[in-house]
Amino acid sequence: MLEYAKTQIDHAITRDDLKGHSFENAFGGATSFLRRKYTKDLSGVELAVTGVPFDQAVTNRPGARFGPRAIREASTLQTFDPPYRWPVDPMTDVAMCDYGDLAFDYADVAAFPVRLEAHVAGILGAGAACLALGGDHSVTYPILKAHAAVHGPLAVVQFDAHSDTWPDGDPKRIDHGTMMTKAIRDGIVDVERSVQVGIRTTNAENPVPEIDALTVHEIGPVETARRIREAVGDARCYVTFDIDCLDPAFAPGTGTPVWGGLSSAQAQRILLGLAGMNVVGMDVVEVSPPYDPTGCTAVAGAHVATDLACLWAAGARGR
């Protein structure tokens, strides 16, 4: 490791391969996700990571547009060793790249969802799976549409403080609180096989089954993971992780914080307990660095993203 640290720099640009750990100094160099190769060439890529720096659909605090950059920077701490406890290491077992961010006109908000859907469709059309770094939670809706066009209606495992199923009768609206409403209305979510985890806000009309935060605290992460697996079964599944699923003590840098949430340790154990599920796509959203001078929210987001890559890889490799 020390020998590599002396010679590796900007590994995201200079590396030729799509596999392998990176040992350049965590505090230097170009900050791609997990020091993966930055490339727009998806030839041979199995898993592409892409950033979606959009936060113009929030109901409270903005700043998630800076989430992808902060998650990438925080992820440099994880590039030296295999991910903890996982039966698969996406850095060595998977041809993974950092596909960079979505390009869009920040002033043409109405055009954004179609552009994002096409961006993700291009990744999937090249034969790669997609891990998206948000951005606010509205970005999940166009991403889900792109996945459903390939896989059909999907079970959704949503880690969140909020259901995001509030009423919304205007299909032109772009709102992080109604992204699941739109997806369900479009018929791209298999509601009966879906589950929301960590919910701690009231929405009496929420059609999606919940394992709310208090229940997680009562039954523990192992049983929570078992219930998620039971709900989803062998269905193709999309996992979306809103960082506000975590309590503000663990993730203060988010737009709509709610007390009583999951701890980082609970989230880690739940994700590990989902290994083997048929996951076809995933995202982590709502990391808003301006509200967290410690950087711990970005660290949590980077760990979640890494574990989501592990979760996809475990299913793809049958482990």
SS3 sequence, the chain? Answer: CHHHHHHCCCHHHHCCCCCCCCCCCCCCCCCCHHHCEECCCCCCCCEEEEEECCCCCCCCCCCHHHHHHHHHHHHHHHCCCCCCCCCCCHHHHCCEEEEEECCCCCCCHHHHHHHHHHHHHHHHHCCCEEEEEECCHHHHHHHHHHHHHHHCCEEEEEECCCCCCCCCCCCCCCCCCCHHHHHHHCCCECHHHCEEECCCCCCCCCCCCEECHHHHHHHCHHHHHHHHHHHHCCCCEEEEEEHHHECCCCCCCCCCCCCCCECHHHHHHHHHCCCCCCEEEEEEECCCHHHCCCCHHHHHHHHHHHHHHHHHHHHHCCC
234 is an annotated ligand-binding site residue: no
10 is an annotated ligand-binding site residue: no
151 is an annotated ligand-binding site residue: no
* Buried b / exposed e along 128-146 (16+ C-beta atoms within 10 A): bbbbbbbbbbbbbbbbbbb
Which amino acid is present at 269? Answer: R
55 is an annotated ligand-binding site residue: no
Of the candidates 39, 30, 38, the one whose C-alpha atom is nearest the C-alpha of residue 8 is 30
164 is an annotated ligand-binding site residue: yes
108 is an annotated ligand-binding site residue: no
Which amino acid is present at 230? Answer: E
Bridge pairing between strands 155-159 and 96-101:
unpaired
Of the candidates 183, 177, 174, 145, the one whose C-alpha atom is nearest the C-alpha of residue 164 is 177
Binding site for Mn(2+): which residues?
Answer: 137, 160, 162, 164, 242, 244
Binding region: 137, 160, 162, 164, 242, 244
